[in-house]
Structure 1
Amino acid sequence: MTTCFWCDSPQVTVTRQTVYWELPDGLRAIKITGTPSISCAECGMVYQEEAVAEAIEDQLFLIDTTHLAKTITYEELMNEPRRLKRNYFR
């Protein structure tokens, strides 16, 4: 059973939300729709679990971000072809 990272409440649901993420070069941010998220009914926080945040960060680091549109779905982002196999800096 998942509990809220912020308040430890068990009243959480898995949702898909829109998030905004800064690209690794720091020059712009993109809108990522349908991102796996956790929503807490008790404290109202909506957040991404660490594994999801790390997956997004790694993917943005490993792909060519110059051609990304301002808006992309989570699935489209994760399916972008990688330049490297993995993040060797982790």
Structure 2
Amino acid sequence: MEQLCEWCGGKANKGENTVYWELPDGSRAIQITTTPAAICLNCDMVYQTDEVIKQIENQLFLVDTKKIGKSISYQDLMALPRLLKRNYFDFT
């Protein structure tokens, strides 16, 4: 299935980039490398899909963020053991 850019509607490819995320407690921000991204071939926008954003937000809410240094790869972040099975505060 062809992915369309959420900004301009042009064709977008799957890729990766580095993002910076504030921890849920607001104590600091971290760098997340090799994060899945959409890269628009028309407007050159590089962004994370809503699905990836939700995965990152949920994982950061469910893991011990004190064990995360200044930088972590997306794969390593998603592999961290969770303190809870799921985000019980997400009602979507």
Query: With structure 1 as the length reference, what TM-score do the two structures score?
Result: 0.96
Structure 2 gap segments, 5+ residues each: none
* SS of equivalent residue, structure 2 residue 9: coil
The alignment yields a C-alpha RMSD, in angstroms, of 0.6
- Residue 49 of structure 1 deviates from its aligned partner by 0.6
Aligned residue in 2 for 1:67: 67
For each residue in 1:27-73, what CA deviation from the matched residue of structure 2 results, as whole angstroms up to 9, or x when unmatched?
A: 10000000000011211110011010000000000000012110000
Structure 1 gap segments, 5+ residues each: none
Aligned residue in 1 for 2:53: 53
Q: Separation in 2 of the partners of 1:33 and 1:2?
A: 22
State, as a whole percentage, how many aligned pairs show the same letter: 53
Task: Tell me the amino acid that sits aligned with residue 9 of structure 1.
Answer: G
The alignment covers a number of residue pairs equal to 89
Q: Separation in 2 of the partners of 1:13 and 1:27?
A: 34
* SS of equivalent residue, structure 2 residue 3: coil
